[in-house]
């Protein structure tokens, strides 16, 4: 009997599949799993109810949605790592999910190509309607120094990477006996005076000033937190001047140094370099600027302005019938007629709701809705149970009352009852339990790392442990003779693009035998010692060539000390 039922079910499934193949459902593909993408999928699911003629597909790199306004509390330890994270499957149970990178979008053929998975072949998705909600990124593409040495603060992985880094430098500062290096370790620089920069600076300042003295035995006066902003006051675009000035007073009172009307120009491993040429010695640089749309957006053949897709107030892309855009990657006119919609979650969520309604309306032949939301105010947290809030009706709040409003509003906006309960319990525990200091270290060490140096900086110093090989991409450096670092430097050679240095200490296991100093802005790839050893061990000819060139270079050195000179890669 059971066997017969199973067979009949399989026959019905085959018939249904055959029917489905003939009546292909309308496919809506959503790109991005942020506020815009996830809320668009959620709204579409509510609108579909029991309809099976429409298929929803969401493409995102991660399988989770991050409630970004609470990331700063993860950094400071007031909230657990997974508290502001919600699985997308739980929020969008009817949506087909693809957790891959997006390779390309062809709007003429209506195709989205995804990166390969376990098999080295791409996955191509056809669509009838495309929702582009890719958000924006902290864009370091045009500054190799920032790309190599600045830490962004945009998503969960950025937050965990920064938290691990801060715990590491605090631990190193506890045991470091070099005063100069110790000061570099205890100097924290944040670039950007918008919401992200202010919240990171406030949370980081609270965290290091609490756990530094209590846990690591550091002196409070040795800790420096510096916030750099290009405008004349913080939160200039986001809040009323009185609230921005209040934020400045609070941060200064808590030890944050403000450098207003300055811009971060570049960075090296040991310095943050400003637009006026001044340098701040630091081993921790967090940059929330510059911000720009996702680089993939630029490659999509749709009308754009300043890297953003132009859409109207129905979220339909200008000049298109099947493509829709919303959130930070789109230019949508503000309902007030003044400029475009701001890049905030409250606008992205309501744009997603409007977009979902209009897609279903387009499918069913109904009239579209126009986006009319003008905003519900702004809130920003300043750490230590303090915030600023600008609410509808011109109401301005600051201090503890604003902080309570911030927590209440964002807690209420959390999707899912289970997440609300988890975060409420986490906040209660934070009142009595000290912050967690465990490092996650989720990112594996990289074999090849890009690094940037400015003129006058030392790339390697005589006597250091030989741990990496350096390959010059662009710029120049000079090799100083052994023993000359402590006196008047004597130049032994200059090296430029296409040359390497640092190989001798890796080959013979000795410490660095010479000093290398940067002459021009220098970009290099560095290879870790283990990877270099594997490479030359598996390629005997390469090892013989490197050893031969190293011996030739060593023979030109007047001192009988093993020297790290440069050799050509050709």
Residue 554 CA to residue 570 CA, distance in Å, equals: 19
pLDDT band at 304 (very low <50, low <70, confident <90, very high): very high
The tens digit of pLDDT for each residue in 132-173 reads: 999 998 888 778 899 999 999 988 999 999 999 999 999 999
| Cβ count near 333 (within 10 Å) | 15
Average pLDDT over residues 420-431: 87
pLDDT exceeds 60 at position 198 = yes
**Residue 22 confidence (pLDDT):** 55
Average pLDDT over residues 541-557: 74
Q: What tokens does 400 get?
A: 């503890």
Q: DSSP per residue over 283-299, as a string?
A: SEEEE--SEEE-HHHHT
**Residue 553 confidence (pLDDT):** 65
Longest dimension (CA), the chain: 96
**Residue 293 confidence (pLDDT):** 82
pLDDT exceeds 90 at position 358 = yes
**Residue 554 confidence (pLDDT):** 66
Look at strands 54-59 and 26-31 and give their pairing. Answer: parallel
447 Cβ partners below 8 Å, 6+ apart?
527, 528, 530, 531
All domains in the chain, ordered by first residue: 2-61+100-137+294-364 (3.50.50.60), 144-289+378-430 (3.50.50.100), 448-568 (2.60.120.10)
Residue 100 CA to residue 42 CA, distance in Å, equals: 20
Q: Which contiguous run of DSSP H or E holds residue 239?
A: none
pLDDT exceeds 60 at position 558 = no
Hunting for tokens 């301005």 — which residue is that? 396
> What is the pTM (predicted TM-score) of this model?
0.87
pLDDT band at 357 (very low <50, low <70, confident <90, very high): very high
**Residue 477 confidence (pLDDT):** 95
pLDDT exceeds 90 at position 13 = no
Look at strands 522-528 and 448-453 and give their pairing. Answer: antiparallel
314 Cβ partners below 8 Å, 6+ apart?
354, 355, 358, 368, 369, 370, 371
Q: What tokens does 471 get?
A: 């390959």
pLDDT exceeds 80 at position 559 = no
The tens digit of pLDDT for each residue in 500-513 reads: 898 888 887 778 88
Note the helical H segments in 191-312.
195-216, 241-253, 295-298
């Amino acid at each position: 009997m059971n066997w017969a039922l199973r067979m009949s079910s399989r026959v019905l499934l085959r018939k249904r599949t055959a029917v489905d193949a003939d009546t292909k459902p309308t496919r809506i593909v959503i790109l991005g799993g942020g506020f815009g993408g996830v809320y668009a999928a959620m709204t579409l699911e509510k609108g579909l109810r029991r309809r099976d003629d429409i298929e929803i597909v969401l493409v995102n790199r991660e399988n989770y949605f991050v409630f970004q306004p609470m990331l700063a509390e993860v950094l400071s330890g007031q909230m657990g790592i997974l508290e502001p994270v919600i699985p997308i499957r739980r929020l969008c149970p009817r949506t087909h999910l693809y957790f891959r990178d997006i390779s390309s979008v062809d709007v003429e053929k209506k195709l989205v190509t995804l990166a390969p998975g376990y098999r080295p072949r791409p996955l191509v998705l056809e669509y009838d309607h495309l929702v582009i909600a890719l958000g924006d990124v902290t864009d370091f593409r045009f500054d190799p120094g920032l790309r190599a040495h600045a830490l962004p603060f945009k998503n969960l992985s950025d937050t965990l990477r920064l938290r691990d880094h801060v715990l590491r430098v605090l631990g190193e500062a506890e045991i470091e006996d070099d005063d100069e290096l110790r000061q570099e370790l205890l100097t924290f620089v944040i670039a950007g005076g918008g919401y992200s920069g202010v919240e990171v600076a406030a949370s980081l300042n609270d965290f290091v000033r609490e756990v530094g003295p209590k846990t690591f035995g550091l002196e409070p006066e040795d800790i420096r937190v510096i916030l750099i902003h290009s405008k004349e006051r913080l939160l200039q675009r986001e809040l009323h001047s009185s609230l921005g000035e209040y934020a400045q007073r609070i941060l200064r009172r808590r030890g944050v140094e403000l450098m207003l009307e300055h811009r971060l120009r570049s960075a090296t491993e040991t310095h943050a370099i400003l637009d006026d040429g001044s340098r701040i010695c630091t081993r921790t640089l967090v940059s929330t600027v510059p911000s720009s749309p996702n680089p993939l957006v630029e490659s999509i053949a749709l009308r754009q302005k300043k890297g953003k897709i132009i859409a109207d107030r129905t979220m339909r892309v200008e000049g298109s019938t099947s493509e829709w855009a919303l959130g930070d990657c789109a230019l949508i006119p503000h309902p007030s007629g003044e400029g475009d919609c701001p890049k905030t979650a409250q606008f992205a969520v309501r744009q997603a709701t409007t977009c979902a309604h209009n897609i279903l309306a387009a499918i069913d032949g109904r009239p579209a809705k126009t986006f009319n939301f003008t905003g519900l105010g702004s809130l920003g947290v300043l750490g230590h149970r303090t915030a600023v809030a600008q609410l509808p009706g011109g109401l301005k709040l600051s201090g503890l009352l604003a902080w309570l409003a911030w927590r209440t509003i964002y807690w209420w906006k959390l999707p899912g009852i289970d997440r609300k309960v988890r975060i409420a319990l986490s906040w209660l525990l934070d009142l009595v339990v000290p912050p967690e200091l465990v490092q996650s270290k989720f990112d594996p060490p990289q074999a090849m790392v890009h690094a940037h140096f400015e003129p006058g900086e030392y790339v390697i110093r005589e006597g250091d442990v030989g741990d990496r090989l350096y390959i010059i991409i662009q710029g120049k450096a000079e090799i100083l003779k052994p023993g000359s670092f402590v006196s008047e430097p004597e130049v032994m050679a200059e090296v430029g693009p296409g040359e390497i240095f640092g190989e001798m200490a890796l080959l013979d296991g000795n410490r660095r035998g010479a000093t290398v100093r940067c002459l021009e802005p220098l970009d290099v790839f560095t290879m870790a010692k283990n990877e270099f050893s594997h490479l030359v061990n598996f390629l005997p000819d390469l090892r013989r060539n490197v050893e031969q060139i190293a011996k030739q270079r060593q023979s030109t050195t007047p001192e009988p000390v093993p020297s790290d000179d440069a050799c050509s890669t050709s």
